[in-house]
């Protein structure tokens, strides 16, 4: 049995107990990648040799008692928009095909210090712009549950790698649902923390005011453990928040007695797939049976979240991505005449169509004469959405709903209609606009066998409430564990690693 | 013939004297190999984030308070987006919507009298790197050592009417900022940069004319010349019935001519928006009070105190307080020797002369007050003559030598011993019979020549009083 079939916490415990070694864990991860990733393409870069070397060091430190944490020796996959010193970091873009950061992102640094071993960098939508992982310049990632479907995005590589047991857990980033939606599509558990909880230092920005790094894992316990490891007050990130409670695992209690759970009626309306709606309702009932008080309410403003999100995220992105210009790092056009032409050609060649679309959209909404009508209005909408959530959290501990209106669409079905793809973010983007924490975990499968995700949203800094609710739901066992359902075909059809380097 | 009024507003950039950059902990020190004072933040590496240097805020507040501005309690940064290789992120972090200081002003004095020049706002921002074109290799290279050096931009109201007022305003700002220790404000080195917005209008009219913005002004002289030239150029256009175009112009001080850089039509749209990577700067009363309490004695206060308490003439006090470095040297030296007027003389005459001769600025004074103080004591007690003192001072100025030790080692102490001097005086009398005779014939002046000869023989070290007495005595005896 592969050590990758264990949860991160289980594996960590086993290594600590001397029943397995960090090196065996890394080997099993690399073997799984070898077998499956040719088909799935979860990874852009695999750092096998380094990971094995690191595993030996970590093993010694575990044996010396220098590393005692729950993640010591556990292999982790890192989304390719998180900087890793000396290890290529592409953001799934051609423009960064050769970029090797000079420093490591704070969240990754903290994981490394906790003894987790980075085995590689996962595929994603280019610069995290997309909901399918199809906008990557390094090929699409496939959904392990059905290879004809997308894994979701933008953290599709991370979520698919966890689902396919190519690693024990992964890091993703979530700007408008990029952890939660692919977690839902891949049947894994993903958490987007309160804005400011995990340092963004070293996360290559998409929408700076919305981006958060978070865990992608097999279960709620792992999510809490990983969040504990990656969260911190970091002086290098001015938007980092000094919190009182970093002991997220303390919330892993199977008790929702008296917990007030609200379901926004606006989340169950038009556009929501019936199978998804039924599964989410069933999950709510399961929690009610355990003693939670569940009721429906009107959240309001839900329909304004998507336009506000795309205006703000694209505006920030248009500025954040300006630094990729061929001057300092990354792709530079081979032939050009003068500075302006060099910029133009390097960026035209380096960025894919979805990124260009969002840069243009963002530049437009910030341009003089349009700023007030678009950007300022979007900021006001953002503030109103936050107020709507504030009102809801006066009444409820947790808001429950779907993570996405459907299960994973077929490959190629989304990009031809970007507006439709944007509308798929309806249940996730408002959480980023309001800076809230939310967790997605599996709550069933549709008729085609694709996973359905349940989303639990908390008030700012109320991670513990959503962790408790999610953990309690998980204990009902009303959905099946992922590992029993990883498509057997994938495991067998793999034909070695032939990834782009 | 119509008369025209010139209307001028200034945008002054000042590089702040912080030890580290505005958004990272890299050194702001000048020099250094290219790109040696850099990190992921100031080279715009992906994933890096800015962290505001608290000292920058305090300097900006201090300048704002000293120029009577209102401090913005919740100030924010904005991004100014434009592509240029010296700007590694292709946006500059600046302040547009909520600058740290607003609505201030300073009083200036010119031949026309006193007036107040309003300050519209002061905002904080980061400097760019330096782009150099290598003609030989035909490549451009960039040095990011200056990237992220903190700047404040002081934007005046269009309240100035002449080059004289502009210079007075700049001098005033320079002194305030220098006294606060916020910057050395050197135009020639770029730590203070002024862009001049200028328009002309017929005297008596209310409406402003179309303005131009003049850049690349590296000295007060260049500013004065550029203002005169631009005023003349605009008046000529108007007289010819042509329109002044709103544009940015670049001054070439060698040719005494400006040329258009870009017009309003092709002005860039900077797509400003709030910087999402920084939180608002919250400033409360306590912080303002703390900064205010740290404000050092400013120029006007010193000017008054030097006259009132130290008994200096106004002329001296003005010169000494006219540069913080002079004032600092003056105070430190006076504290040691307790002779303010003597210290003042040494600074105003010998120090300034040597600075001029060597083409140096006051901040380049390298000697320690203790050596000047000792020198003043030596001269004052008659231990050395004024001639020797000047000679020693040159040594102090150049090498900061210990004056006492130097005088001792080089045997420069004044010779007061009558016996030793008598021999020299006798020799001088024997060698100059003509002068002796002139003196006897009633030419009193001749004694001056004989004193001079004696002093020369003594290499300036003889006590002139004793020499004089001796000469008179010996001449009488002859």
Residues B390, B432: one domain?
Answer: no
Q: C-alpha dihedral over B237, B243, B248, B249, to 10 degrees?
A: -20
Q: How far apart are the first and last CA of chain A?
A: 30
* Residue A368 touches chain B, beta carbons under 8 Å: yes
Residues on chain B touching A99 (C-beta within 8 angstroms) = 46
Residues on chain A touching B48 (C-beta within 8 angstroms) = 201-202
In angstroms, what separates the C-alpha of A218 from chain B's closest C-alpha? 28
Is residue B126 situated within a structural domain?
A: yes
Residues B59, B172: one domain?
Answer: yes
* Residue A239 touches chain B, beta carbons under 8 Å: yes
In angstroms, what separates the C-alpha of A249 from chain B's closest C-alpha? 29
Q: Which residue has the tokens 């019936």?
A: A274
Residues B28, B123: one domain?
Answer: yes
Question: Is the CB of A329 less than 8 angstroms away from the CB of B45?
Answer: yes
**The pair of three-digit structure tokens given for residue B76, joined into one six-digit string:** 């924010």
**A vs B: CB pairs below 8 A:** 100
**pLDDT number for residue B150:** 98
Over residues A30-41, the pLDDT tens digits come to: 999 999 999 999
Over residues A207-235, the pLDDT tens digits come to: 999 999 999 999 999 999 999 999 999 99
CB atoms within 10 A of CB A374: 21
Name residues whose C-beta falls within 8 Å of residue A384's C-beta, 6 or more positions apart in sequence. A301, A304
**pLDDT number for residue B312:** 96
What does each of the 501 residues of chain A score in pLDDT, given as a tens digit?
Answer: 899 999 999 999 999 999 999 999 999 999 999 999 999 999 999 999 999 999 999 999 999 999 999 999 999 999 999 999 999 999 999 999 999 999 999 999 999 999 999 999 999 999 999 999 999 999 999 999 999 999 999 999 999 999 999 999 999 999 999 999 999 999 999 999 999 999 999 999 999 999 999 999 999 999 999 999 999 999 999 999 999 999 999 999 999 999 999 999 999 988 899 999 999 999 999 999 999 999 999 998 989 999 999 999 999 999 999 999 999 999 999 999 999 999 999 999 999 999 999 999 999 999 999 999 999 999 999 999 999 999 999 999 999 999 999 999 999 998 888 888 888 899 999 999 999 999 999 999 999 999 999 999 999 999 999 999 999 999 998 655 544 544 434 544 433 333 333
Question: Is the CB of B47 less than 8 angstroms away from the CB of A203?
Answer: yes
Residues on chain A touching B277 (C-beta within 8 angstroms) = 205, 208, 238-239
Is residue B292 situated within a structural domain?
A: no
CB atoms within 10 A of CB B117: 24
Closest chain B residue to A234 measured between Cα atoms? B51
Over residues A354-390, the pLDDT tens digits come to: 999 999 999 999 999 999 999 999 999 999 999 999 9
Residue from B273, B279, B280 to probe the interface with A (highest A Cβ count within 10 Å) = B273
* Residue A282 touches chain B, beta carbons under 8 Å: no
Give CA–CA dist B193/B209, Å, rounded.
24
Task: Compute chain A's Rg from CA coordinates.
Answer: 21
Closest listed residue to residue A492, CA positions, set A6, A5, A32, A25: A32
Domain final residue, candidates B364, B383, B409: B409
Query: How many domains does the structure of chain B reveal?
Result: 3
**The pair of three-digit structure tokens given for residue A335, joined into one six-digit string:** 């032939």
A178 labelled catalytic: yes
What does each of the 478 residues of chain B score in pLDDT, given as a tens digit?
Answer: 689 999 999 999 999 999 999 999 999 998 889 999 999 999 999 999 999 999 999 999 999 999 999 999 999 999 999 999 999 999 999 999 999 999 999 999 999 899 999 999 999 999 999 998 888 888 889 999 999 999 999 999 999 999 999 999 999 999 999 999 999 898 888 899 999 999 999 999 999 999 999 999 999 999 999 999 999 999 999 999 999 999 999 999 999 999 998 877 677 899 999 999 999 999 999 999 999 999 999 999 999 999 999 999 999 999 999 999 999 999 999 999 999 999 999 999 999 999 999 999 898 999 999 999 999 998 888 888 888 899 899 999 999 999 888 888 887 787 777 777 888 888 888 888 888 888 878 787 788 888 888 888 888 778 878 888 888 888 877 7
The DSSP-derived string for A314-358 is HHHHHHHGGG-SSSSSS---SS-SHHHHHHHHHHHHHS-HHHHHH
Is residue B302 situated within a structural domain?
A: yes
Would you say how long chain B is, in residues? Answer: 478
Q: Considering only CB atoms, which residues of chain B are within 8 Å of chain A?
A: 40, 43-52, 79, 81, 83, 85, 88-91, 140, 142, 269, 271-273, 276-279
**pLDDT number for residue B139:** 87
Ramachandran angles phi, psi of A385, nearest 5°: -60, -40
Residues B400, B425: one domain?
Answer: no
Closest residue to B88, CB basis, from A82, A201, A323: A323
Residues B472, B326: one domain?
Answer: no
Residues B159, B45: one domain?
Answer: yes
Q: Please give the helix or strand (H or E) that residue B71 lies within, else none.
A: strand B70-71
The DSSP-derived string for A63-100 is HHTS--STTTT-EEEEETTB-BTTB---TT-GGGTT--
Question: Is the CB of A316 less than 8 angstroms away from the CB of B276?
Answer: yes
Domain final residue, candidates B409, B429, B444: B409
Query: In A114-169, which ranges are continuous DSSP H helix?
Result: 156-163
Closest residue to A323, CB basis, from B51, B89, B273: B89
Say which of A93, A131, A136, A154 is annotated catalytic: A154
Question: Is the CB of A319 less than 8 angstroms away from the CB of B79?
Answer: yes
**pLDDT number for residue A479:** 57
A344 labelled catalytic: no
Enter the DSSP assignment of A128: G
Give CA–CA dist A228/A15, Å, rounded.
20
Question: Is the CB of B47 less than 8 angstroms away from the CB of A102?
Answer: no
Say which of A93, A131, A155, A178 is annotated catalytic: A178
Residues B222, B337: one domain?
Answer: no
Residues B380, B241: one domain?
Answer: no
CA A461, distance to chain mean position in Å, is: 19
Domain span at B146: 4-286
Q: Which residue has the tokens 């919250």?
A: B282
Domain final residue, candidates B258, B286, B314: B286
Question: Is the CB of B276 less than 8 angstroms away from the CB of A101?
Answer: no
A154 labelled catalytic: yes
Closest residue to B49, CB basis, from A91, A96, A201: A201
Residues on chain B touching A203 (C-beta within 8 angstroms) = 47
Q: Are A402 and A263 in contact (CB under 8 A)?
A: no
Closest chain B residue to A99 measured between Cα atoms? B46
Residues B80, B120: one domain?
Answer: yes
In angstroms, what separates the C-alpha of B49 from chain A's closest C-alpha? 6
Question: Is the CB of A368 less than 8 angstroms away from the CB of B271?
Answer: yes
Name residues whose C-beta falls within 8 Å of residue A336's C-beta, 6 or more positions apart in sequence. A342, A344, A345, A346
Q: Which CATH class is domain A3-255+437-475?
A: alpha beta
Residues B399, B441: one domain?
Answer: no
**pLDDT number for residue A491:** 43
CA dist list (Å): B434 to B155, B430, B443, B447, B454: 73, 10, 11, 11, 15
* Residue A366 touches chain B, beta carbons under 8 Å: yes
Residues B325, B431: one domain?
Answer: no
Residues B335, B219: one domain?
Answer: no
Is residue B319 situated within a structural domain?
A: yes
3-class state of residue B196 by DSSP: strand
CA dist list (Å): B17 to A263, A334, A395, B26, B95: 56, 42, 53, 13, 19
Q: Please give the helix or strand (H or E) that residue B233 lies within, else none.
A: helix B220-239
**pLDDT number for residue A493:** 40
Is residue B291 situated within a structural domain?
A: no
Q: Please give the helix or strand (H or E) that residue A56 lies within, else none.
A: helix A48-64
Closest listed residue to residue B50, CA positions, set A269, A437, A235: A235
Over residues B297-352, the pLDDT tens digits come to: 999 999 999 999 999 999 999 999 999 999 999 999 999 999 999 999 999 999 99
Closest residue to B44, CB basis, from A328, A363, A368: A328
Closest residue to B49, CB basis, from A82, A96, A236: A236
């Amino acid at each position: 049995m592969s050590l990758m079939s264990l949860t991160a916490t289980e594996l960590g415990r086993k290594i600590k107990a001397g029943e397995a070694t960090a090196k065996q864990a890394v080997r099993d991860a690399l073997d799984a990648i070898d077998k499956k990733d040719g088909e799935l393409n979860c990874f852009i870069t695999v750092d096998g040799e380094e990971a094995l070397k690191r595993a030996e060091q970590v093993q010694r430190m575990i044996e010396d008692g220098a590393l005692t944490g729950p993640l010591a020796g556990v292999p982790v996959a890192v989304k390719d928009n998180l900087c890793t010193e000396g290890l290529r970091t592409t953001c799934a873009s051609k423009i960064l095909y050769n970029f090797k950061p000079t420093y490591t992102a704070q969240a990754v640094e903290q994981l490394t210090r906790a003894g987790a071993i980075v085995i590689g960098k996962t595929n994603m939508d280019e610069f995290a712009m997309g909901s399918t992982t199809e906008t990557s310049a390094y090929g699409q990632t496939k959904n392990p549950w059905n290879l004809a479907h997308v894994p979701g995005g933008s953290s599709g590589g991370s979520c698919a790698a966890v689902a396919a047991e190519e690693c024990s857990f992964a890091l993703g980033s979530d700007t408008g649902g990029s952890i939660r939606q692919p977690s839902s599509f891949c049947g894994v558990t993903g958490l987007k923390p309160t804005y400011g909880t995990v340092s963004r230092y070293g996360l290559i920005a998409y929408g700076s005011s919305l981006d958060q790094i978070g865990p992608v894992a097999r279960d709620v316990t792992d999510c809490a453990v990983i969040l504990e490891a990656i969260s911190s007050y970091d002086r290098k990130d001015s938007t980092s928040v000094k919190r009182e409670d970093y002991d997220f695992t303390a919330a892993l209690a199977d008790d929702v007695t008296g917990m007030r759970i609200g379901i926004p009626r606006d989340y169950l309306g038009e556009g929501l797939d019936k199978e998804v709606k039924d599964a989410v309702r069933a999950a709510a009932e399961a929690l009610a049976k355990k003693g939670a008080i569940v009721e429906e309410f009107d959240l309001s403003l839900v329909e304004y979240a998507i336009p506000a999100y795309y205006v703000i995220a694209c505006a920030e992105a248009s500025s954040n991505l300006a630094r990729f210009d061929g001057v300092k790092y990354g792709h530079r056009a081979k032939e050009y005449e003068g500075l302006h032409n060099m910029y133009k050609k390097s960026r035209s060649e380096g960025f894919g169509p979805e990124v260009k679309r969002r840069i243009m959209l963002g530049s437009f909404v910030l341009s003089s004469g349009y700023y007030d009508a678009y950007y300022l209005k979007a900021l006001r909408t953002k503030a109103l959405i936050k107020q709507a959530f504030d009102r809801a959290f006066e009444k409820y501990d947790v808001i429950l709903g779907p993570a996405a209106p459907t299960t994973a669409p077929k490959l190629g079905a989304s990009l031809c209609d970007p507006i439709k793809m944007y509308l798929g973010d309806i249940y996730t983007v408002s959480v980023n606009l309001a800076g809230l924490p939310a967790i997605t975990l599996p709550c069933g499968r549709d008729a085609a066998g694709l996973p359905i995700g349940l989303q639990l949203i908390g008030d700012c800094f109320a991670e513990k409430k959503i962790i408790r609710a999610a953990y309690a739901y998980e204990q009902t066992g009303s959905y099946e564990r992922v590992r029993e359902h990883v498509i057997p075909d994938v495991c067998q059809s793999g034909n070695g690693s032939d990834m782009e380097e | 013939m119509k008369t025209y009024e010139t209307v001028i507003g200034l945008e002054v950039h000042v590089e702040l004297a912080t030890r580290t950059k505005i958004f990272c902990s890299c050194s702001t020190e000048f020099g250094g190999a290219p790109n040696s004072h850099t990190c992921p933040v100031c080279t715009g590496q992906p994933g890096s984030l800015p962290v505001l240097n608290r000292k920058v805020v305090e300097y900006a507040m201090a300048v704002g308070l000293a120029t009577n501005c209102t401090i913005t309690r919740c100030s924010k940064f904005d991004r100014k987006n434009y592509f240029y290789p010296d700007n590694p992120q292709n946006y500059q972090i600046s302040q547009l919507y909520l600058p740290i200081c607003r609505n201030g002003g300073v009083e200036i004095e010119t031949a026309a009298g006193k007036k107040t020049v309003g300050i519209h706002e002061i905002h904080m921002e980061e400097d760019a790197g330096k782009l150099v074109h290598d003609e030989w290799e035909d490549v451009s290279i960039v040095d990011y050592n200056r990237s992220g050096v903190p700047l404040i931009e002081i934007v005046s109201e269009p309240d100035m009417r002449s080059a004289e007022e502009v210079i007075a305003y700049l001098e005033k700002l320079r002194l305030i900022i220098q006294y606060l220790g916020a910057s050395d404000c050197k135009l020639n080195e770029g730590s203070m940069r002024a862009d001049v917005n200028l328009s002309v209008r017929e005297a008596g009219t209310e409406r402003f004319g179309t303005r131009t913005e003049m850049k690349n002004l590296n000295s007060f002289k260049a500013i004065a010349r550029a203002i005169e030239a631009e005023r003349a150029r605009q008046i000529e256009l108007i007289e010819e019935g042509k329109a002044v175009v709103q544009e940015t112009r670049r001054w070439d001080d060698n040719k005494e001519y400006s040329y258009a850089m870009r017009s309003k039509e092709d002005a860039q749209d900077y797509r400003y928006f709030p910087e999402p990577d920084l939180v608002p700067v919250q400033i409360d009363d306590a912080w303002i009070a703390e900064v205010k309490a740290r404000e050092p004695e400013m120029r006007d206060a010193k000017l008054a105190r030097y006259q009132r308490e130290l008994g200096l003439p106004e002329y001296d006090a003005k010169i000494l307080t006219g540069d913080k470095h002079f004032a600092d040297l003056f105070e430190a030296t006076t504290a040691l020797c307790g002779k303010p007027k003597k210290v003042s003389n040494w600074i105003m005459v010998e120090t300034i002369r040597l600075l001029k001769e060597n083409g140096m600025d006051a901040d380049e004074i390298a000697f320690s007050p203790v050596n000047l103080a000792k020198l003043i004591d030596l001269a004052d007690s008659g231990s050395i003559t004024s001639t020797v003192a000047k000679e020693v001072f040159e040594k102090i100025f150049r090498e900061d030598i210990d004056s006492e030790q130097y005088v001792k080692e080089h045997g420069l102490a004044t010779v007061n011993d009558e016996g030793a001097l008598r021999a020299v005086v006798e020799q001088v009398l024997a060698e100059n019979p003509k002068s002796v005779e002139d003196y006897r014939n009633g030419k009193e002046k001749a004694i001056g020549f004989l004193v001079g000869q004696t002093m020369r023989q003594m290499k300036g070290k003889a006590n002139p009083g004793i020499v004089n007495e001796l000469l008179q005595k010996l001449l009488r005896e002859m």
